[in-house]
Amino acid sequence: MTPMLTPTQCVMARYGLGLTVRELATGASLGVATVNRFELGQAVPEASTMRLLRMTLEAAGAVFIGSDGVRIPKGAADGNDAVRPSRSAGQGAAEAVRAA
């Protein structure tokens, strides 16, 4: 089964959106170490954690293509604070994952 988000996709999406690891972790209500370990391929997070990461990146503008691609639409990473996931947006994503 293909993972819903690969470490490479996560790094590419985060970089393309201009997000730091800390911003992604905060937006997804996860620890910085969790995101770091996943991006470095040192750990395979639970499905709920990968859903949080993917939902947070998608909310910021990332579009995942197939099993290994990602596209950042023009303007999604223009430095606007509205693109950056907020703590409350991450909490909303976390609640949605818990409800699923």
What is this structure's pTM? Answer: 0.75
Question: Long-range contacts: 8-11, Cβ < 8 Å, 24+?
Answer: 8/68, 9/64, 9/68, 9/69, 9/70, 10/35, 10/38, 10/39, 10/53, 10/57, 11/39
Every domain of the chain and the residues it spans: 7-99
What are the tens digits of pLDDT across the range 44-96?
A: 999 999 999 999 999 999 999 988 899 998 877 764 343 344 444 445 444 44
Q: Is 7-99 assigned to CATH 1.10.260.40?
A: yes
- What is the tens place of the pLDDT at every residue in 11-29? 999 999 999 999 999 999 9
